[in-house]
Amino acid sequence: MANKKQSRVNYYRITLQWGVFILLIYMLIRPIFDKNYGADFEAFCPFGGMQSLASYFSSHSLACSMTTVQIALGIALLLAVVFFSKLFCSYICPIGTFSEWLGSLGRKAKMHITLKGNVDRALRLLKYALLYVTFYFTVTASELFCRKFDPFYASFTGFSGDVDLWYAIPAILLTIVGSFFIRQFWCKYLCPLGAITNIAVYALPAAAITLLWVLLTSVAGLTIPWPWLLGVLCLTGFLFEATTLKFLVFPSLRITRHDDLCTHCRICDKKCPMAIPISTVETVNHIDCHLCVDCVVKCPEKGALTVNKRNLRWLPSAATVVLIAVAITVGTYYELPTISENWGDIKGKTVKSIQMDGLKNIKCFGSSRSFANHMKEIKGVLGVETFVKHKRVIVYFDESVINSEGVKAAIFSPLSEIINFSGKTSDRVSFVKLGIDRCFDPNDQSYLGELLRKDKGVLALSTHFGEPVQATIYFDAALTNENNIKVAVSKEELVLGEGSEQTTIKTGFVVNEKGKTSGEIPVNEFLNLFIATTDVSFNKFESYTNDKMSVYELPFAQAADPEMQQWMPFLVSHASNDNGIVRIQTVFREEGPVIKIWFVNSLTTVEKINSMLKATEFTVHYPNKTSKKVKNPFTFNL
Ligand code: SF4
Ligand code: SF4
C-alpha cells in the first residue's frame, strides 16, 4: 500500500552534503572580509590523516601541516566503514556530491551510462594503483602526494601550494567528463580514498595480512619493507572487489528489502546513485553501496526497504555527525608530534626535558625538520618532539652536559637587522637595551623589527637570548627617543602589506625595563656591527710581497649604505680588469668609511685606478664566463 505522507526527499543526506558545500564556500569567501584568515581546505581531510598516520608509523613524522584532527577523522572513517557503512563517501565527500550532480545532468541529457562486466571490474584496479602511488610517495617524502592531483584540493586552493598542473588538470577534466558520462566515475574507478574504504570493508583479510607482516618482521626478524605490505593490501582489496563486487562480513548496516511489501516498481533501482539492482535482492551487499538511503526514501511502499530490517534511515547521517564531532573533539585536544626523534645512547644518562610553547616557526614538517636538525648539533641534546598545532616543542637533554637554560639558548635564534638606516647618520648612534616579553620566536622577532620600522628614527635591532629576550635598539637621537621606541614596541597589532594583501598580526610584546641600559656608540662601531665590509683579493694578490704593492685609500661613504652592498661585487669584478689591482677592502673608520685599493706598482698607477673608478660603465664578468656592461652605480670623490 502506497504511503502518501512519507517524504520522498532524503533531507538528512541533502542537509549534510549542502552543509559541506556551504562551509567550503564560506572558507573561500571569508578571506575577502578577514585578511588574517587563511583557508585550510585540508583541515578535515581524512585521507590526508590516514597518509599522515602511515608516515608517522614508518618514520615518526607527520606529513607536512597534517594535524591530529585529520588523523582522528581518518580513523573515524575506517570505524564508520566497519560499524556502519561508507558514510564519508555518501554524506561528506565534496567530490562524490559533485560527481552525483554531474551524473544527474548526464542522465537528463540521456548521455549517462553504467559500465558493467569485465570493463567495470578491470577499471576498479586504477584506484588501488593510485592509492599505492599516493601512499608510497607520501610516506617516503612526508609530503602529501595527493595534493599534486586531488581535484578538490586543486580547485579550492586555486591551483596553488603543492598542486602539480600536469597531474591536477587531467584529474579535474577526467572527473568532470567521466562523471557526466559514466556513473560515479571518480568514486568507483579513481578515488584512492574509495580504495582504502573498500580495503576496510574487507577488514578481516586486511587485518590478517597486516598481522602476518608484523609477525614476520618483528618476531621472525625477516626484512619485508612496508611497501610490500601496502602492495599486498592494495592487491587484496582489488581482487576481493573485482571478483565478488560484494561486502563480506562488514559493514554492519545494510539495506534490506521486504519482498512481501515490494511491488517491484523498480524505482529504487533507478534512484540508486550507484546503479545497484536493489529490487532483485533481499539484502544489498553490493560493494558500491554507501548507505545513502536514497532508495529507502524514494521507495513508495512503506517498509519495503529498511536499514537492517528496521526503520533506521536516520542512523547513517546521525552516525556521520557523531563520528565527525567525536573525531574533531579528540583531535583538537590530543596532538601527535609532527616529528618525534631521539638520538644518542641514553644509558646511564639523566634525561630531562623542557617544553616550550608558542614557537610560531614550528608550523609544518619542514620547519620541524630543520628545528630537529639544529638541535642535533647541540651537545647534550638527546631528542625532540614538535607539535605544529600548538607550536610546541619538547626537547630531551642530558643534564650532565647541558642544562635547561643552555637548551633554551640553543633554541633561540638571535636577530641582527638594519631597520631604517640608509648610510647617513650623525657621528654617534644612540641605543637602548630592553627586555621584551613574548618575543622568543624568530617570527616574533621579525614582527618586532616591523613594529620598529614604523619609527623612522630607529636604525637597527639586535636580539640576544635572555628571559625575557634582550633587544638592543639603535636609533638616531635627532629623530626619535626611548619613549617613542617603547610605544612602538608595545603596539598590540602590526599591520603588514597594503590593499588586498594587508594582514593584521596580534603582537602583544611587553617591554621589561629590568636591567635596562642605554647610551651612545661611535657610528663606525655601529657600522661594524651591522654592515658587511668587503675584502676581496684577486689577480694573484698572494704572489706579491708588500714592497711590490701600494695601497690607495679614499673616502667611500657609499660603503655604509645597505642598499649599495649589492653593487660591491660589480666594483670588484670591474677592478679586476686592471691586472695591477689585486685587492679591494672597505673599512669603517672613525672619520668615515674608506675604500682601500691594493695595487702592484709596476703594473698600474693611481691615475689608471681613478679612471677605472670614474668610468660611466663597469665591465663585469660572470661565473659562466660571460661579460656585461653595467652603469657605474658609485660616486667617488676623486
Ligand atoms: S523496494 Fe524498490 S522495487 Fe520494491 S517497491 Fe520499493 S522502490 Fe519499488
Ligand atoms: S543501494 Fe540504496 S543505500 Fe545503497 S547506494 Fe544505492 S540508493 Fe544508496
- HEC string of 119-137 equals HHHHHCHHHHHHHHHHHHH
Question: Do residues 409 and 354 lie in contact, with contact meaning Cβ atoms separated by under 8 Å?
Answer: no
Q: Which atom of ligand 2 is nearest to the CA of 298?
A: 7
pLDDT band with cut points at 50, 70 and 90 for residue 117? very high
- Verify whether ligand 2 is closer than 6 Å to residue 295 (CB atom): yes
Residue 3 has pLDDT above 80, yes or no: no
- Verify whether ligand 2 is closer than 6 Å to residue 102 (CB atom): no
- Verify whether ligand 2 is closer than 6 Å to residue 87 (CB atom): no
415-474 pLDDT tens trace: 999 999 988 777 899 999 999 998 888 888 999 999 999 999 999 999 999 989 999 999
- Verify whether ligand 1 is closer than 6 Å to residue 304 (CB atom): yes
**Residue nearest ligand 1's atom 4 by CA:** 262
229-283 pLDDT tens trace: 999 999 999 999 999 999 999 999 999 999 999 999 999 999 999 989 999 999 9
What is the Å distance from ligand 2's center to 189 Cα? 18
Question: Do residues 296 and 49 lie in contact, with contact meaning Cβ atoms separated by under 8 Å?
Answer: no
The residue behind cell 564556500 is: 25
| Euclidean distance between CA atoms 190 and 174, whole angstroms | 10
Question: DSSP secondary structure string, 297-343?
Answer: HH-SBTTTEEETTB--TTHHHHHHHHHHHHHHHHHHH----SEEEE-
Name the residue of 266, 270, 281, 297 to mutate for ligand 1: max ligand atoms within 8 A of Cβ. Answer: 266
Residue 380 has pLDDT above 70, yes or no: yes
Residue 551, Cβ neighbours under 10 Å: how many? Answer: 11
**Residue nearest ligand 2's atom 5 by CA:** 289
What is the Å distance from ligand 1's center to 577 Cα? 92
CA angle 344, 347, 350 (to 5 degrees): 95
CA atoms within 13 A on the CB side of 517: 6
| Euclidean distance between CA atoms 409 and 199, whole angstroms | 49
pLDDT value of position 573: 96
What is the Å distance from ligand 1's center to 87 Cα? 23
- Verify whether ligand 1 is closer than 6 Å to residue 267 (CB atom): yes
What is the Å distance from ligand 2's center to 272 Cα? 5
- Verify whether ligand 1 is closer than 6 Å to residue 242 (CB atom): no
Residue 64 has pLDDT above 70, yes or no: no
What is the Å distance from ligand 2's center to 309 Cα? 15
592-600 vs 549-555, strand pairing mode: antiparallel
Residue 99 has pLDDT above 80, yes or no: yes
pLDDT band with cut points at 50, 70 and 90 for residue 1? very low
| Euclidean distance between CA atoms 61 and 564, whole angstroms | 44
3-state secondary structure of 64: coil
Name the residue of 293, 299, 312, 320 to mutate for ligand 2: max ligand atoms within 8 A of Cβ. Answer: 293
- Verify whether ligand 1 is closer than 6 Å to residue 336 (CB atom): no
What is the Å distance from ligand 1's center to 262 Cα? 5
| Euclidean distance between CA atoms 113 and 181, whole angstroms | 6
**Phi, psi (degrees; rounded to nearest 5) at 564:** -85, -10
What is the Å distance from ligand 2's center to 200 Cα? 19
Cell numbers placing 254: 545494510
Pick the closest to residue 638 from 553, 533, 534 (CA basis): 553
273-321 pLDDT tens trace: 998 999 999 999 999 999 999 999 999 999 999 999 898 999 999 999 9
The widest CA-to-CA distance across the chain, in whole angstroms, is 117
Q: What is the DSSP letter of 515?
A: E
Question: Do residues 620 and 571 lie in contact, with contact meaning Cβ atoms separated by under 8 Å?
Answer: no
What is the Å distance from ligand 2's center to 103 Cα? 15
- Verify whether ligand 1 is closer than 6 Å to residue 301 (CB atom): yes
Q: Which atom of ligand 2 is nearest to the CA of 271?
A: 7
**Residue nearest ligand 1's atom 2 by CA:** 268
Q: Please, which residues have CB within 8 angstroms of residue 257's CB and are 6 or more apart in sequence? A: 268, 278, 279, 281, 282, 283, 284, 304, 305
**Residue nearest ligand 1's atom 6 by CA:** 299
Residue 393 has pLDDT above 80, yes or no: yes
Kindly identify the ligand whose nearest atom is closest to the C-alpha of 257. 1
168-182 pLDDT tens trace: 999 999 999 999 999
| Euclidean distance between CA atoms 85 and 197, whole angstroms | 9
- Verify whether ligand 2 is closer than 6 Å to residue 100 (CB atom): no
pLDDT band with cut points at 50, 70 and 90 for residue 65? low
- Verify whether ligand 1 is closer than 6 Å to residue 299 (CB atom): yes
pLDDT band with cut points at 50, 70 and 90 for residue 2? very low
- Verify whether ligand 2 is closer than 6 Å to residue 255 (CB atom): yes
Name the residue of 12, 269, 284, 285 to mutate for ligand 2: max ligand atoms within 8 A of Cβ. Answer: 284
Residue 570 has pLDDT above 90, yes or no: yes
What is the Å distance from ligand 2's center to 576 Cα? 80
| Euclidean distance between CA atoms 7 and 300, whole angstroms | 9
Cell numbers placing 633: 652605480
514-553 pLDDT tens trace: 889 999 999 999 999 999 999 999 999 999 999 999 999 9
Give every strand in the sheet of 510-522, ordered side by side. 416-418, 458-464, 469-475, 428-437, 510-522
126-167 pLDDT tens trace: 999 999 999 898 888 767 788 888 898 888 888 887 888 899
Question: DSSP secondary structure string, 66-122?
Answer: --HHHHHHHHHHHHHHHHT--HIIIII-HHHHHHHHHHHHHHHTT--B---HHHHHH
Kindly identify the ligand whose nearest atom is closest to the C-alpha of 288. 2
Q: What is the DSSP letter of 445?
A: H
Pick the closest to residue 324 from 46, 84, 90, 49 (CA basis): 46
Q: Which atom of ligand 2 is nearest to the CA of 291?
A: 3
| Euclidean distance between CA atoms 586 and 35, whole angstroms | 45
- Verify whether ligand 1 is closer than 6 Å to residue 278 (CB atom): yes
What is the Å distance from ligand 1's center to 283 Cα? 13
| Euclidean distance between CA atoms 72 and 326, whole angstroms | 9
| Euclidean distance between CA atoms 418 and 453, whole angstroms | 9
Peptide bond into 442 cis (omega under 30): no
469-475 vs 428-437, strand pairing mode: antiparallel
Pick the closest to residue 333 from 387, 393, 372 (CA basis): 387
35-54 pLDDT tens trace: 767 778 877 788 888 877 88
What is the Å distance from ligand 2's center to 273 Cα? 7
Q: Please, which residues have CB within 8 angstroms of residue 330's CB and are 6 or more apart in sequence? A: 68, 72
- Verify whether ligand 2 is closer than 6 Å to residue 272 (CB atom): yes
Average pLDDT of the chain? 91
Kindly identify the ligand whose nearest atom is closest to the C-alpha of 84. 2
- Verify whether ligand 2 is closer than 6 Å to residue 575 (CB atom): no
pLDDT band with cut points at 50, 70 and 90 for residue 63? low
Query: Residue 417 pairs with which residues in a beta bridge?
Result: 461
CA atoms within 13 A on the CB side of 151: 23
What is the Å distance from ligand 1's center to 258 Cα? 9
Q: Which atom of ligand 2 is nearest to the CA of 288?
A: 5
Kindly identify the ligand whose nearest atom is closest to the C-alpha of 13. 2
Question: Do residues 518 and 432 lie in contact, with contact meaning Cβ atoms separated by under 8 Å?
Answer: yes
Pick the closest to residue 232 from 213, 258, 260, 259 (CA basis): 213
pLDDT value of position 142: 65
Structural domains for the chain: 11-315 (no CATH), 339-411 (3.30.70.100), 416-528 (3.30.70.100), 531-631 (3.30.70)
Pick the closest to residue 90 from 154, 13, 143, 34 (CA basis): 13
Query: Residue 62 pairs with which residues in a beta bridge?
Result: none
Kindly identify the ligand whose nearest atom is closest to the C-alpha of 277. 2
